[in-house]
């Protein structure tokens, strides 16, 4: 996320809720419609995709904070060979399932509010 102020805010989960996410998305949409993405500090490459992933990560953290009795995480399974990508992916569906299965089997004291790249926890902020 090129926008330094937004990047700083993303590291502080305590200031985020659904209303704030919606406000950021409305700002993004306004900037997109008016051709101000670069000027406003949004990603230049695949901006809608990048912002959608940012929101998924934020909402994961919000849900984890709201429901501490649950393990709430998000995972990128990798480039999995499926019909959606014309079977061009480099991973088999079985390989792509490793992360989601691992997260579904986490113990009660396992990580929550985290992002996993396949089976590895990654700090996205």
Q: What is the DSSP letter of 86?
A: T
* 79 in the same domain as 32: no
* 38 in the same domain as 86: no
* 75 in the same domain as 62: no
Q: Which of 78, 81, 99, 101 is nearest to 89 (CA)?
A: 81
Predicted TM-score (pTM) of this structure: 0.88
* 31 in the same domain as 1: yes
Q: In this predicted model, what pLDDT tens digit does every residue of 23-36 receive, in sequence order?
A: 999 999 999 999 99
Q: In this predicted model, what pLDDT tens digit does every residue of 50-73 receive, in sequence order?
A: 999 999 999 999 999 999 999 999
* 119 in the same domain as 81: yes
Boundaries of domain holding 111: 71-124
Taking the C-alpha atoms of residue 102 and residue 84, their distance in angstroms, rounded to an integer, is 23
**Residues with catalytic roles:** 49
Q: In this predicted model, what pLDDT tens digit does every residue of 98-114 receive, in sequence order?
A: 999 999 999 999 999 99
* Strand residue runs (E) in the chain: 74-76, 115-117, 120-122
Q: Which of 50, 66, 82 is the last residue of a domain?
A: 66
* 60 in the same domain as 4: yes
Taking the C-alpha atoms of residue 31 and residue 41, their distance in angstroms, rounded to an integer, is 10
């Amino acid at each position: 996320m090129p926008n330094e102020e937004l990047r700083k805010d993303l590291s502080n989960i305590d200031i985020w809720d659904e209303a704030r996410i919606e406000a950021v998305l409305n700002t993004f949409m306004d900037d997109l419609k008016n051709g101000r993405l670069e000027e406003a500090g949004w990603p230049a490459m695949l901006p809608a995709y990048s912002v959608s992933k940012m929101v998924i990560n934020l909402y994961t953290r919000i849900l984890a904070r709201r429901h501490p009795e649950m393990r709430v995480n998000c995972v990128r399974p990798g480039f999995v060979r499926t019909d959606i990508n014309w079977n061009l992916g480099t991973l088999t569906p079985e390989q792509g399932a490793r992360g989601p299965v691992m997260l579904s089997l986490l113990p009660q004291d396992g990580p929550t509010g985290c992002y996993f790249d396949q089976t590895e926890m990654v700090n996205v902020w």
